[in-house]
Amino acid sequence: MVQINLPSPLERSRTLASYQNLVDPSLLETIEKLAEPLQGAGIQHINSTFVGGGVAEILQSLLPLMKSIGLNARWDVLSAQSDFFEVTKAFHNAFHGEKINFREEMITIYEETAQKNLAVIDDSADFVIIHDQQPLGLVKRKDQHRGHWIWYCHIDPVDVDPRVWNFLSRYARRCDAAIYHLDEYAKHLPHQQFILPPAIDPLSDKNREVTDTEKEKVLEELGISTDQPYILQVSRYDRLKNPFGLVHAYLELLKVFPCQLIFAGGAADDDPEGLDVYNELKELTKDHSTIRVLNLAPTSHLEINVLQRAAAIVVQNSSREGFGLTVTEAMWKEKPVVSTPVGGIRMQVIPDKTGLMAPTVQELTKALLQLLQNPALAQQLGQQAKEHVRQNFITPVYLHRWLKLMNDLRS
């Protein structure tokens, strides 16, 4: 495994006080109290990628903040070869109901990778947090370990293929607790279960305010003109994000309202299917000059920030979604969001209050047209969306929930 040292001095210097203008002061006081009994506690987060995807995004903000309140937090990423990520991507798809070709050799590859990474488990950690299913095999080490082991399931496991679940649950049930984003995701496991929806960091490069100069520079570098409004979807290139459905909805919209469509995405180290989906999307859209498919570097946080801020509407057309941080990010920027009613997005987009829901391509076209024709509605939804995120889905609120959870587990 590789231990991650966060690169940005700005992010490393983040403290609780940095958030004082964003949250109620009593929340910061409660956080300080809850942190007292946890001073010096060792916390090891383990996941499968440093860049790309929601978990990496969360850890980049949570880690410095945990450290700043006296917790001894570290973050390690599995070392693995491409065959392992092919297996775990298939498992990921199987969590989302896809019937995969589950073979004995997958178990061998999964277990061998776990075995090779065992030595990096921090024996002094009080809490070992396994993010998603990729590092679950490390639970083997738990029997010789003193800490609390927690499995944090960031995806929707409701329709998981029973064969895959039968295999992975053998590991999951050995943990002391599990965390899910929604109540309905909880599996039947013999330990404590917690609900902990994730959060965005309003102070990160992805979400902070940007200057007009930064905005102009980024848009120019990306070759984006705002002469016509644009609709944006930010996502890894993954079929479950259904970019193809959005293209169809957009082409209908274009018949009645001139506008552009931008896809902003990139690769994640643990997602081997991204390139295929990107190429398919490029092929599908190659004859449409008003559609852009951007392949961004993993460090393009400011670029995504600017793209979200300059968009007329942000869409998340996923067919499955564990939580949907891209939705939270857009809502924080007061953007009207149109989304499918799936997974954790349903906690965020309250129809006609903090965004619009569009379960089908036809409804998506209709919702987009409604917002483009009614800027006052778009503005109102955006403002309400930001407040909803401020109260529920920003890092200090998330940290508060973490501290409660760790104190509960210790009591």
In the complex, the residues that contact ligand UDP under the rule CB under 6 A are 53-54, 57, 206, 234-236, 265-266, 296, 304, 323-326, 329
Cα radius of gyration (the chain)? 21
- Please name which of 334, 384, 18, 381 lies closest in space to residue 201, comparing C-alpha atoms: 18
Cβ neighbourhood burial of 171 (10 Å; 0-12, 13-18, 19+): buried
Q: Which long-range contacts (CB under 8 A, 24 or more apart) does 14-17 make?
A: 14/61, 14/64, 14/65, 14/68, 14/203, 15/65, 15/68, 16/65, 16/68, 16/69, 16/396
By beta carbon distance, the residue nearest ligand UDP is 54
Cα–Cα distances (Å) from 316 to 327, 341, 390, 392, 404, in that order, read 7, 10, 20, 19, 31
For the CB of residue 327, give the shortest distance to ligand UDP in the complex, in Å: 7
For the CB of residue 66, give the shortest distance to ligand UDP in the complex, in Å: 19
Cβ-based nearer residue to ligand UDP, 234 or 262: 234
For the CB of residue 271, give the shortest distance to ligand UDP in the complex, in Å: 8
* 138 phi, psi to nearest 5 deg: -70, -15
For the CB of residue 323, give the shortest distance to ligand UDP in the complex, in Å: 5
Q: At what angle do helices 301-310 and 325-332 cross, to 10 degrees?
A: 60
Point out which residues pair with 261 in neighbouring strands: 231, 291
For the CB of residue 347, give the shortest distance to ligand UDP in the complex, in Å: 12
Cβ-based nearer residue to ligand UDP, 53 or 336: 53
Q: At what angle do helices 243-254 and 274-285 cross, to 10 degrees?
A: 20
Cβ-based nearer residue to ligand UDP, 141 or 204: 204
For the CB of residue 384, give the shortest distance to ligand UDP in the complex, in Å: 20
CA–CA separation, 294 and 394 (whole Å): 27
Cβ-based nearer residue to ligand UDP, 113 or 235: 235
DSSP string spanning 118-143?
Answer: GGGS-TT-SEEEEESSGGGGGGGGGG
For the CB of residue 234, give the shortest distance to ligand UDP in the complex, in Å: 5
CA–CA separation, 214 and 229 (whole Å): 19
Cβ-based nearer residue to ligand UDP, 76 or 269: 269
For the CB of residue 86, give the shortest distance to ligand UDP in the complex, in Å: 18
Cβ-based nearer residue to ligand UDP, 23 or 325: 325
Amino acid identity of 264? Answer: A
Cβ-based nearer residue to ligand UDP, 137 or 266: 266
For the CB of residue 267, give the shortest distance to ligand UDP in the complex, in Å: 8
Cβ-based nearer residue to ligand UDP, 330 or 368: 330
Cβ neighbourhood burial of 298 (10 Å; 0-12, 13-18, 19+): middle
- Please name which of 105, 96, 101 lies closest in space to residue 163, comparing C-alpha atoms: 101
Cβ-based nearer residue to ligand UDP, 120 or 219: 219
18 and 203 Cβ atoms separated by less than 8 Å: yes
